[in-house]
Amino acid sequence: MTTQKNYESSKLMSASEKWFNKYEHVKVVPDGVFQGVLDRFNGITIDSAAEECEESFFDEKLTKSIEHWIEEKKRAIWFKVHRDQSYMVPILVRNDFLYHHARGEFVMMYRWLPKDEVMAVPPFAHTMVGVGALVINDKNQVLVVSERNALIPNSWKLPGGYCEMRENLIDAAIREVEEETNIKTRFESLVSARHAHSAAFGCSDLYFILKLIPETQEITKCEREIADCRWMDIDEYLNHENVHETNRSFVSYWLSLQKNGMLIDVVDKTHKLLKRDYQIFFPRNIENGES
Amino acid sequence: MTTQKNYESSKLMSASEKWFNKYEHVKVVPDGVFQGVLDRFNGITIDSAAEECEESFFDEKLTKSIEHWIEEKKRAIWFKVHRDQSYMVPILVRNDFLYHHARGEFVMMYRWLPKDEVMAVPPFAHTMVGVGALVINDKNQVLVVSERNALIPNSWKLPGGYCEMRENLIDAAIREVEEETNIKTRFESLVSARHAHSAAFGCSDLYFILKLIPETQEITKCEREIADCRWMDIDEYLNHENVHETNRSFVSYWLSLQKNGMLIDVVDKTHKLLKRDYQIFFPRNIENGES
Q: What is the DSSP letter of A152?
A: S
- Taking only residues 42 to 101 of chain B, the set having a beta carbon closer than 8 angstroms to any beta carbon of chain A reads 83, 86-87, 89-90, 93, 98-101
Residue B249 to residue A282, Cβ atoms within 8 A: yes
Q: What is the pLDDT of residues B100-109, one digit of tens each?
A: 999 999 999 9
- Report which secondary-structure segment, H or E, holds A237: helix A234-239
Q: What is the pLDDT of residue A100?
A: 96
Q: What percent of chain B has pLDDT over 90?
A: 70
Q: What is the pLDDT of residues B47-76, one digit of tens each?
A: 999 998 999 999 999 999 999 999 999 999
Q: What is the pLDDT of residue B21?
A: 62
Is the model's pLDDT at B2 over the cut of 50? no
Block mean pLDDT (10 aa), chain A, length 291: 41 48 77 91 93 93 97 96 97 98 96 94 94 97 88 85 95 97 97 91 94 95 86 94 92 93 93 82 80 48
Closest partner residue to B199 (CB to CB) among A20, A126, A246 is: A20
Q: Please count the residue pairs, one from chain A and one from chain B, whose beta carbons lie less than 8 angstroms apart.
A: 275
Q: Which CATH class is domain B8-112?
A: alpha beta
A200 close contact with B: CB closer than 8 A: yes
Domain ranges (residues) in chain B: 8-112, 127-285
One-letter amino acid of B120? A
Instruction: Give CATH superfamily name and number for A2-112.
Output: Gcn5-related N-acetyltransferase (GNAT) (3.40.630.30)
Banded model confidence at residue B174, pLDDT cuts 50, 70, 90: very high
Q: What is the pLDDT of residue A28?
A: 84
Closest partner residue to B256 (CB to CB) among A166, A278, A284 is: A284
Q: What is the pLDDT of residue B6?
A: 40
Query: Which has more confidence, A132 or B9?
Result: A132
What's the gap in Å between the CA of B204 and the closest CA on chain A?
6
Residue B99 with chain A: CB contacts under 8 Å: 83, 102-107
- Give me the CATH code for the B127-285 domain, please: 3.90.79.10
Interface mutation vs chain A, best among B267, B282, B284, most A CBs within 10 Å = B282
Q: What is the pLDDT of residue A27?
A: 77
Q: What is the pLDDT of residues B101-148, one digit of tens each?
A: 999 999 999 999 999 999 989 899 999 999 999 999 999 999 999 988
What's the gap in Å between the CA of A260 and the closest CA on chain B?
8
Q: What is the pLDDT of residue A104?
A: 94
Q: What is the pLDDT of residue A289?
A: 54
Q: What is the pLDDT of residue A24?
A: 77
Q: What is the pLDDT of residues B218-273, one digit of tens each?
A: 999 888 888 899 999 999 999 999 999 899 999 999 999 999 999 999 999 987 77
Instruction: Find all residues with CB under 8 Å of B163, minimum gap 6, and list them.
Output: A127, A204, B129, B130, B131, B169, B172
Query: Which has more confidence, B17 or A212?
Result: A212
- Taking only residues 153 to 192 of chain B, the set having a beta carbon closer than 8 angstroms to any beta carbon of chain A reads 162-166, 168-169, 190-192
Is the model's pLDDT at B207 over the cut of 70? yes
Closest partner residue to A149 (CB to CB) among B41, B201, B284 is: B41
Q: What is the DSSP letter of A123?
A: P
